[in-house]
Amino acid sequence: MRSHEKSTRIAVVTHERDLHAYAVKAEMERRYPAQVQILECDHFSAAPGLSWSPDEKIEAVLPAVGGDAVRPQELDAVWFRRLANSRTSANPEVTDPAHRELICTDTSGAALGALLTEFQGRWIDHPDASYTAQNKLVQLRAAHRLGLRLPATLISQSPDRIRAFCDAHPATIVKAVNGVVQAPAATIPVGRELLDDDAAMRVCPAIYQELVPGRRHVRVQVFGDRVLAALLESDDLDWRPNLNIPAVPHRLPTGIEDALRAVLRALGLTMGIFDLKITDEGEYVWLEVNPQGQWLFVEGMAGLPLIEAFTDFLYGEATR
């Protein structure tokens, strides 16, 4: 443990009842001279609320869980996890969906602006980098340029091009470019029903990819230089809907670890949660990176010490 004259101050920007945030706060305050404040952006209507002014005559403050006023300029690090929550339980007295959306959108915008203008410490990770890296096209291009093996991929809403792609790759999957939390969709095989439905293909772009066969899925947590991977075994194409599956710690080949770190550097990130798949021939295939993806469940399923590892990483970044 490094010793510091004053307690290191860290804020987690997230939504209500984020177990990741609470687990890391407890671990951090138990092991390090640090104070972690949780900023639940969907509950900013609680006192003292958010305030900011362009001339700085009014002190910028954000409300933390427990009612503390957090001054962004006093923070050493911000773990920028989540900014909005369309499913929040906050403000139940507001029932008009448009009003609820306004509260979500305007609170997010004000919180982000207050942090971008006032906070001078370490971002984990900077919003610009996180949002850009979240884009599947950007990350696919980065992974391709860095030599990772990708499934053959087409992002399109052209029925002719999609059918030609599927003809060339007889086993093909379709998945969302972004998706919506109101109706999450699993990755599914492309079937005849879709290929005969021009309107469905044309109405918006989707990701069409060569299906990677096999049942060995890998979830990789990269926190700084540290890489912690778990092997999830599932016959399902998309393991996310059923987490009642075998999961064990997994050691990646050094070349894959290095390649994933290189992707993060290229995307301007210090952390990332990757999804890979191992083919029957033992080759690692890139699927995606989630800049602030969920990782806590991997500790629960595979026993990897992720809370401890992330806490070490976050404290290290905050005190650099």
Contacting positions for other proteins (CB under 8 A): 15, 17, 19-20, 22-23, 26, 81-85, 87-89, 105, 108-109, 112, 127, 130-131, 134, 174-176, 178-181, 183-186, 188, 191, 193-194, 197, 199-201, 203-204, 206, 238, 240-244, 273, 290, 292-294, 296-297, 299-301
Task: State the minimum distance, in angstroms, from the CB of residue 204 to other proteins.
Answer: 5
- Residue closer to other proteins by CB (options 101, 283) is 101
Q: Which H or E element spans position 44?
A: none
Q: Which of 284, 309, 298, 117 is nearest to 226 (CA)?
A: 309
Q: How far is the CB of 319 from other proteins (least distance, A)?
A: 24
Q: Which is nearer to other proteins, 74 or 164 (CB)?
A: 164
CB of 181 to other proteins, least distance (A): 4
**Looking at beta carbons only, is 9 or 20 nearer to other proteins?**
20
> Which string of b and e fits 164-202 if b means at least 16 CB within 10 Å?
ebbeebeebbbbbeeeeeeeeeebeebeeebbeeeeebe
Are the C-beta atoms of 166 and 190 separated by less than 8 Å? yes
How wide is the angle at C-alpha 155 spanned by C-alphas 149 and 157, nearest 5°? 160
> How many other C-beta atoms can be found within 10 angstroms of the C-beta atom of residue 142?
19
**What is the torsion angle, in degrees rounded to the nearest 10, for the CA atoms of residue 23, residue 24, residue 26 and residue 27?**
110
Task: Tell me how far, at minimum, the Cβ of 255 lies from other proteins, in Å.
Answer: 25
Q: Which is nearer to other proteins, 22 or 266 (CB)?
A: 22
| Cβ 205 to other proteins shortest distance, Å | 9
- The distance of Cα 271 from the centroid of its chain, to the nearest Å, equals 9
- Nearest Cα residue to 175 out of 218, 136, 203, 224: 136
Of residues 296 and 319, the one with the C-beta less far from other proteins: 296
Residue (65 or 278) nearer to other proteins, CB: 65
Closest separation in Å from C-beta 315 to other proteins:
18
